[in-house]
Amino acid sequence: MIDSLEDLLVVREKPGAAFLFEEMEERRIETQRDEIQTPFGAVPRIAQELWTSRQRQGHSLHEISYRACFKGELPAFFLTHLTRPGDVVLDPFMGRGTTLVEAALRGRVPYGNDVNPLSKILCAPRLQPPTLSQVERRLEQYQKDLADPGPEEGDPELSVFFEAQTLGLIRALKTHFLTLEREGRGDGVDSWLRMVATNRLHGHSPGFFSVRSMPPNQAVSVETQKKLNARSGLRPTRKDVFGILYKKSRMLLRRLSPGERELLARVGSQALLLQGDSRGMEGVPRSSVALTVTSPPFLDVVHYARDNWLRCWFNGIDAERMAVEISTPSKLEDWLSLMGDVFAELFRVTRDGGYLVFEVGEVRKGTLLLEEPLLPVAFDRGWEILGVLINRQGFTKTANCWGVSNNKKGTNSNRMLVLRKPKGSRP
């Protein structure tokens, strides 16, 4: 059992952790320490480069874009130290499913939840991925069977993004996937291709269905795309939709080894993916979770519904309704109250001695370090506070880890509350 932050950073006393720090030791990575003063005592805060450039390569299965997602190396670090194969690992704000995919690749059972219905669409297929030959055969069948159904009433003006024939194929795919969903048909290959198509809708390179647009994790409005087209002389051109789906599938699957595929087949079938409020995850059994690794919305910094409106359209999701359901408080006190309820629910589902890693960022141009007001909230909900870890990336040459001036949006640094449920606690 890990009893302190220092335990996570010791190399030689914990042989299983040594490989994480070989490069760190060679480069003599600097460590900074201070303490946060709280009503219940001083809390240690440690900043270090926790995963090196070698570990930052990540697995190819993670390469699905989503707003404000963290890298797979973050959950990998804690999975290595705090869990064993067969343990249940949870992310109540699963987003694209980084924690769940990384957990499954390491033989842990993935549990996830998100109020955003896109999350399950993006995550579930990567827990039990098809083979590339299965993808190829299904795409050949799509080419024979799918036809443009024409625009539906209320369709947005999508011609600013897509060439006419390309848009016809996108509409055909949309109709096909929604029909399979409505009729309860389809299989893992269809789910996989729906995920990939959702990811390839719009972006800034030829590997997307659209004309050059914003990066794929943030859809611009029709009016903004019109201005981009006019200013840069852009015109949507015909895209090889099925070729793009095959190429992206090949990229996602390129590093998946036979052993990892066997692991995914075993634990992926045990996965639990919920859609709903993280304050009430009734589907997660009491005291079942060994480790939670998550990153909640940072106040109202990211607008998930607005940024995903085109993906919502493709998947038949009402973006306006979703905007109401996943709205995040802008006032700190309201956000802390929300997080307090989340802490209470996570306390219920965590086993005695289980851990919670809660990743937050600095917001409001670095003037608000969210770990500081969150610590008393977690303590009041029964959690034992082990401390705060900050991952300081090697590329951040001039970073001041206590007020990161070049990470103003809170998305480039990882500030993590490390908590434990005391043994003998009442759920």
List of residues 6+ apart from 111 with CB closer than 8 A:
88, 89, 90, 91, 100, 271, 272, 273, 284, 288, 289
- Say which DSSP state 421 is in: P
Q: Is the pLDDT of residue 186 over 70?
A: yes
Residues 360-388: tens digit of each pLDDT: 976 766 678 899 999 999 999 999 999 99
Say what the pTM is: 0.90
pLDDT at 233: 97
pLDDT at 400: 43
Q: Is the pLDDT of residue 8 over 50?
A: yes
Q: How confident is the model at residue 54 (pLDDT cuts 50, 70, 90)?
A: low
pLDDT at 401: 40
- Give the mean pLDDT of 206-225: 93
Structure token pair of residue 372: 């500081």
List of residues 6+ apart from 425 with CB closer than 8 A:
347, 352, 382
Helices (H), strands (E): how many in the chain? 16, 11
Residues 301-355: tens digit of each pLDDT: 677 778 899 999 999 999 888 876 777 888 999 999 999 999 999 999 999 999 9
Q: Is the pLDDT of residue 223 over 50?
A: yes
Q: Is the pLDDT of residue 151 over 70?
A: yes
Rounded to 5°, angle at Cα 337 from 331 and 341: 145
pLDDT at 22: 38
Residue-range domains of the chain with CATH: 5-116+257-302+320-420 (3.40.50.150), 132-252 (no CATH)
